[in-house]
Amino acid sequence: MEFRLLGTVSVDTRTGPLPLGPAKRRSLLAALLLSANTPVPVARLTDSLWGEDPPPRARGVIQGHVSRLRALLTGAEAQAYGVELVTLGDAYVLRVPETLLDYQRFEELLMLARQQRSATDTVRMLDDALSLWQGPALGGAFTEGPLQAAAHTLEESRLATVEELARAYGNLGEHHRAASALRAEAVAHPMRESLAAALILALYRAGRQSEALDWFHRTRRLLADELGIDPGHELADAYALILRGDPRPGPASAGGPGTAPPGASRPGTGPGTSSTGPGPAAGTAAAAGPPRVPAAHSPSVAPHPTDLLPRAPRGFHGRGAELAALTRAAAGEAPVCLVTGPAGVGKTSLALQWAHHNPAAFPDGRLFADLRGFSETGEPALIDVLREFLLALGVAPRRVPESVSAAAALFRSLTDRRRLLVVLDNARDSATVRALLPGGTDCVTLVTSRNRLEGLIASDAARPVPLGTLEPQDGTALLAGVLGEERILAEPVAARRLAELCGGLPLALRVTAARLAGRPQWTLAGLADELADERGRLTFLDVDDTGVSAALRLTVQQLPADAVRQLARLGHHPGGHFDPYTCAALAGTDPVAAAAALERLGSAHLVTETAPGRWVLHDLVRLYARGLDPASGAEALIGVLDHYISTALAAADTAEPGGEPCFVLPEDHRSAAVRDFADRAAAMHWLAAERDDLARAAVAARSARLHDRAWRIILLQWPQVVWRVRDSWAPLLELALDSARAQQDLYAESRVLNLLGWVLTEEGRTAEALALLERSPGLARRAGDRLGEATALINLAVVQAGQGELDRALEGCGGAVALARQEKDRHTEMLALQHLARLQLVAHRPGDALESARTALALGPEHEEAARRSLLLAVSGEARLALGEEEEGVLLLDRAAEEAERAGYDEGAVRALEALLRVSARADYLTRHAQALGRLTDGG
């Protein structure tokens, strides 16, 4: 006895198949077999047989079918095979050995096939598995709802098995058999991309490259027409493999059908064919099918494919990801591939490298035009470009139209049914490109431009392939291609340094290599030292009529005046990145105008947007920009410094709204637009993200003797310093201290000493901290800064307590509380009470500590001062523990840890959890402590 679902639903016996009767009964049997040996509720059976619209007597109908099935099985002596149809309450179960189920045997053979080491055994078992199929799954049943899903699942398994069988044939080198197995399924399932991809590869590896390419384009057109989509990665990758000319395993690569022995001449080579390498020749065109006969109204067409490509680039290195991206982009219908990037990044080299590496994909020819969109000689007339294309396609000179529109129409008509590559190099705008687009759906247009050409993306679905600078290893490889491996290996460190100083820009690297090649007595290290001096770097990167400055000049000369002015001011920016607010401050404009200028500069690839609203400038572009208007440097620097001061002040006020402003603005401060910070998280994020640039700005301010700006920019980062106190802030604060002293500003010196002393304390540099902090209260008093004096007393008390001078520390904190109350400053009072409570706890006065903490907590609203609240709750918890109130203490400490964790205050979380672990070894406390400590160690 055998139960079949892989085909018509049936039960085979020694005397023949059982007469199952109507489709509903077969559906019922299928539903029971799919859940063999498992109870199937009547409700699920109802759903399987009728879906959402069952008849009123559905249960009775099911009972009747079950009764008839049971009688049929009994009559066929099913019990002798261990088969039984049983009623279990409101469900039925068909008990049947899995060996009698064809789909179970199918799955078992699949599993065994995958375990075989021999490809021959794998093929045999997969063949056996597929032989169990006798038609579409669940044939003769109503495949609605669950049964439809089951039939689909079984069919998917069968198709996947066919693909496995084809791979097994491929492992044996039997690619013709693989193609035969796949073709019928690919015809039956034309939308299944994995089948099409497998068939394409099998045909290619069988030496049938033309068929493979035809099948790809057939599938691509079908996907576009039926679904409006391009091929997915699997199909595009198969196409790319053929275009790359990857080795074909099996008989085809060993000189079998479809190949020629090494050195054999190709049919059609000779006068009039391309000599640029393995480009399209007559033999290639023949392989793609019979030659097309021109339409009666068409001009005469050349008998061989044309090739206008310049020679392939020499010394091309890297760019594997971009080449693959181009191949994927070229897999669409009538694709327009858009290679964009800054001047000198190697766009033309990439385009030509890809074009030369894929000749078989374009049996009807390859056209090329330099549109000179960024050239001092000006752009060629469109009619001249079209005339060259038409002549190359075989149009007689007298038949070339005189108008651009007529010539473009003829070009589209001639290319309508061809596989042609059109390379349009150095395009300036989208309109120029549109007039030169071919008409065929199998044609590929490859455009390069320094501009983003977003209009072409919008109108013609151009696929952008942005090109960035080279990684250092690819840069050194490019140098080696010109200078030789020996010279690079002799100075590997200097070679890498040269690649970095050239900013990974291929043009700069080639100029550098040219200088070294002509001067064998020069060392790489010597030239690297010359390039390290920014003042002369661009001069060294120009040679004859080629160089970085010349390339950038051609880009800049096409910009509007406001964009050029913005670029010039960006050259004086001391930071590494910028946003519209920073740009506005540099140029003395507003953020809206600055954003528009940035978009224009970004479109020309003179600046790069690394994140929404966040831009960077390549080092060589920065040096060039600085030379556009050197006299504006001082004005631009002051503008951006004052912008940073205003923005940092707004961030500090948002992050710590109860805090006292650190200072008044400089007298000659220039007002600028300042971003709004929605909440503390946004302000802290800005301070963290801008830390490096704020440090660079402070250094630039000190170098320009703008000391009043330098210490302010640093000191305003105090919320971030407090939040990440152990994050190496001391060098920056020492710079602020130097600037404060250079300006002889007692207020600034005292404030910086306070913060620096506290940082040194947290870093364990107690003696240094004490030496600084002992001077701070007096400086603040002389400056009339009573709140600064209170803060100084607090920080000094912490150090004194660490030195064992607990009484002096308690006295200092008490004085700080009094000063804060006199000034009616709740923020400073809360800070002083927090430290006083901690010291009272150390002095074994838990009752006083608890009272101080309570007073402090009452001063601040719950939604503010997250870090301080956490510390005060921790002190309260430890005080409760010291008073013997363990349950209350644990609750307070747990709450302190949770608040610190929620606020991202890892140091506070570590402190609270350490206190908890002294009284409890709970696993979750250990885990949370380890996690918080890990975050703190990693820098958060």
Per residue in 796-837, pLDDT (tens digit) is 998 898 888 999 999 999 999 999 999 888 888 998 999 999
pLDDT tier, 259 (very low <50, low <70, confident <90, very high otherwise): very low
Q: Which residue has the tokens 């709740």?
A: 826
Q: What's the average model confidence in pLDDT over 410-424?
A: 91
Q: Residue 677: pLDDT above 70?
A: yes
Instruction: Express each pLDDT in 766-802 by its tens digit.
Output: 889 899 999 999 999 998 889 889 999 998 998 898 8
CA 637 to chain CA centroid, nearest Å: 34
Q: Residue 291's pLDDT is what?
A: 31
What is the average per-residue pLDDT within 712-729? 88
Least Cα distance to 249 among 193, 317, 190, 171 occurs for: 171
Strand-strand pairing, 40-41 and 84-88: unpaired
What length is written for the chain?
940
- Say what the pLDDT of residue 262 is: 30
Q: What is the pLDDT of residue 892?
A: 93
pLDDT at 296 over 70: no
Residue written as token pair 């800070």? 831
| pLDDT surpasses 60 at 646 | yes
DSSP state of 701: H
Residue 508 and residue 499 in contact, taking contact as beta carbons nearer than 8 Å: no
Tens of pLDDT, residue by residue over 99-123, are 899 999 999 899 889 888 888 989 9
SS (H, E, C) 45-71: HHHHHHCCCCCCCHHHHHHHHHHHHHH
Distance CA 687, CA 678 (A): 14
- As given in the structure block, the two tokens for residue 335 are 């694709």
Per the CB < 8 A criterion, the answer to whether 129 and 113 are in contact is: yes
Listed ranges 51-65, 580-594, 661-675; the one with the highest mean pLDDT: 580-594
Q: Is 506 exposed, middle or buried (0-12, 13-18, 19+ CB in 10 A)?
A: buried
What are the C-alpha distances in Å from 414 to residues 362, 426, 438? Answer: 15, 24, 8
What integer pLDDT is reported at residue 703 of this predicted model?
A: 92
What is residue 864's predicted lDDT score, i.e. its pLDDT?
52
| Chain segment 614-623, per-residue pLDDT in tens | 888 888 888 8
Inform me whether the pLDDT recorded for 205 exceeds 60.
yes
Q: Can you spell out the DSSP letters for 854-918?
A: HHHHHHS-TTS-HHHHHHHHHHHHHHHHHTT-HHHHHHHHHHHHHHHHHHT-HHHHHHHHHHHHT
173 or 862: whose pLDDT is higher?
173
5-17 pLDDT tens trace: 999 999 998 888 9
What confidence tens digit (pLDDT) does each residue in 722-776 have? 888 878 899 999 999 999 999 899 999 999 998 999 899 888 888 898 999 999 9
How does residue 248 score in pLDDT terms, banded at 50, 70 and 90? low
Q: How far is CA 405 from the centre of its chain?
A: 42
Q: Quick one: pLDDT at residue 5? A: 94
The DSSP bridge pattern shows strands 542-543 and 40-41 to be unpaired
Dihedral sign (CA 910, 916, 918, 921): negative
Asked if 908 contacts 871 with a C-beta cutoff of 8 angstroms, the reply is yes
- State residue 662's pLDDT score: 58
For residue 101, what is the DSSP state?
B
Tokens found for residue 483 = 């200078």
The single-letter code of the amino acid at 483 is L
Instruction: Look at residues 540, 640, 544, 666 and name the one whose alpha carbon lies nearest to residue 587.
Output: 640
Residue 535 is encoded by which pair of tokens?
Answer: 């003042």
Task: Provide the mean pLDDT of the chain.
Answer: 84
Eight-class DSSP state of 609: E
CA–CA distance, 62 with 460 (Å, rounded to integer): 58
Shortest CA distance to 243 belongs to which of 389, 431, 446, 406?
446
Rounded-to-10 torsion of CA 875, 877, 883, 888: 160
Give residue-wise pLDDT tens across range 158-173. 999 999 999 999 999 9
Residues in Cβ contact with 148 at an 8 Å cutoff, skipping those fewer than 6 apart: none
pTM for this one?
0.58
pLDDT of residue 663: 66
Tell me which H or E stretch contains 340: strand 336-340
Pairing of strands 2-4, 463-466: unpaired
pLDDT value, residue 276? 32
Instruction: Provide CB contacts within 8 A for 120, sequence distance 6+.
Output: 172
Q: Are 621 and 568 in contact (CB under 8 A)?
A: no
| Mean pLDDT, residues 490-514 taken together | 86
Contact 152, 188 (CB under 8 A): no
With the CA atoms of 689, 694, 697 and 698 taken in that order, what torsion angle do they form, in degrees rounded to the nearest 10? -160
Q: pLDDT exceeding 90 applies to what percent of the chain?
A: 37
**In this predicted structure, what is the pLDDT of residue 520?**
82
Nearest-Å Rg of the Cα atoms of the chain is 39
Within 115-174, residue ranges assigned H as helices are 119-131, 145-171
- Give the model's pLDDT for residue 265: 30
- Checking if the pLDDT of 225 tops 50, the result is yes
Per-residue confidence at 660, pLDDT binned at 50, 70, 90? low
**418 has pLDDT over 90:** no
